[in-house]
Amino acid sequence: MRFKNFDIPAFLQEYWQKKPLLIRSPWDAWSNPLEPNELAGLADEDHVESRLVTQRNQRWELEQGPFPEGRFGKLERIPWTLLVQGVDHHVPSVAALLEPFRFVPNWRVDDVMVSYAVDGGGVGPHFDHYDVFLLQGLGRRRWELGELCDETTELLPHDDLRLLADFRAVEEWILEPGDMLYVPPRVAHRGVAIGDDCMTYSIGFRAPSRAELLTNWAESVSTDLSDGDRYADPDLAEQRNPGEISSSAIRSLQAMISETMLDRSAFERWFGQYSTMPKDPDIDWRPEETISSEVVLQCLAESIPLVRNPASRFSFIREQTTSLLLFIDGRCYPCRDEVTAFAEQICASVQFTFDAQSSLSIIELIVELVNQGSLAFLDQEE
């Protein structure tokens, strides 16, 4: 799937993280990548995260999956919607939907959530903390957009759903298959299916909260610190009032934190690993038998493409022109010289072929990545 009419630089400059945008069928040709019954099949699996939202006489209910076959047939004629998270990790044709969105860095990509709704179904008015492209796959949906929300926006009392108490639409559109609506973080929105068989693909992004970053980075930093690394005051001067915490003590105490927390190279290593932790470790591509470098060389000689596990995350941080830190599935691989170009290639494309003349270091890296299930040769894919 490729964009035909979508000006990416103009979008980034004017809309990304700033304001919503309706994009009418930007594709070469649109074809819905997943059938409703395939989605229902996924919702029946234990390791897939799914939810069912129903509305009965103005009462909203949320049920967590898995849902056995036949569950949806028993829902009478009430509006309902099924939502399945991380469908890109399970279905290659849905993973392919992410490719046109690679103008956003890998570490910002979350997943593709797919919803199926009957007439009138939806999740109610709400806001999300993340950017999302709402792509209409099948059927039609009315999208209404409201105000920008924040922590003070009033919500309906509900244990599981964060629905807005007072939603007023300021814009609305009906999306047809192939149409797409970009919604920036915190913009109120409501999507209601018009007619049955309404499927929407949410291309979702993520952004760490300051609290999440601070907590996790502090935890990581502190594991390497010794108990003997403590505040010291060999220059202690007699105080007039023993109750005062002096400004020099505060300065030294705060320096203990900032010196440690502001270590840029330690932060790079940590963040690369943290942000590439796999979301779905159940999608295990490790080969039954460990692969050797001879087998890797042979596959490369036969030009068998390498594919990335769609549940794995690939990123790098450049160090110098010829070196970088490659991060995959929470691990860090320092790369230099010819391995650098290889690392850039696997971060840039989900499938590629590689020259069999590759250096030993590249072969060793491929062996490791295949054996840990982050990469696979196309015909060996699980």
Residues that bind ligand SIN (CB under 6 A): 81, 115, 122-123, 128, 132, 134, 189, 191, 200, 202
Q: How would DSSP label each residue in 317-358?
A: EEEETTEEEEEETTEEEEEETHHHHHHHHHHH-SEE---TT-
| Single-letter amino acid code for the residue at 182 | Y
- Report, in Å, the least distance between residue 126 CB and Co ion: 6
Smallest distance, Å, CB 270 to ligand SIN? 30
Q: Give me the sign of the Cα torsion angle 340, 288, 85, 305.
A: positive
Q: Please, are residues 79 and 120 in contact by the beta-carbon 8 Å criterion?
A: yes
Nearer to ligand SIN, 123 or 362 (CB): 123
Quick check: helix, strand or coil at residue 270? helix
Q: Is the Cβ of residue 115 or residue 340 nearer to ligand SIN in the bound state?
A: 115
| Look-up of token digits 């009138």 | 120
Pick from ligand SIN, Co ion, none: which does 280 bind, CB < 5 to 8 A by kind? none
Q: Pick from 49, 88, 110, 128: which binds Co ion (CB under 5 A)?
A: 128
In whole angstroms, the minimum distance from the beta carbon of 131 to ligand SIN comes to 11
From the CB of 101, what's the least distance to Co ion, in Å?
17
Rounded to 5°, the CA angle 287-329-313 comes to 105
- Cα 183 to Cα 350: distance, rounded to the nearest angstrom: 26
Residue nearest to Co ion (CB): 128
Considering only CA atoms, which of 3, 2, 31, 35 is closest in space to residue 178? Answer: 31
Query: Which residue's Cβ has the minimum distance to ligand SIN?
Result: 115
* Residue 353 to residue 303: CA distance in whole angstroms: 6
In 3D space, the residue among 49, 25, 2 whose CA is nearest the CA of residue 136 turns out to be: 25
Total residues in contact with Co ion, by rule CB under 5 A: 1
Rounded Cα distance between 59 and 163, Å, is 12
191 contact choice in Co ion, ligand SIN, none (CB below 5 to 8 Å, kind-dependent): ligand SIN
- Decide which of Co ion, ligand SIN, none touches 362; Cβ closer than 5 to 8 Å per partner kind: none
Which of Co ion, ligand SIN, none does residue 200 bind to, with CB < 5 to 8 Å depending on kind? ligand SIN
Q: Which does 115 bind (CB under 5 to 8 A by kind): Co ion, ligand SIN, none?
A: ligand SIN
The least distance separating ligand SIN from the CB of residue 314, rounded to whole angstroms, comes to: 26
Q: How far is the CB of 189 from Co ion (least distance, A)?
A: 6
Find the shortest distance in angstroms from Cβ 192 to ligand SIN. 9
CA 371/CA 285 separation, integer angstroms:
8
| Residue among 85 and 276 whose Cβ is closer to ligand SIN | 85
Q: Which residues bind Co ion (CB under 5 A)?
A: 128
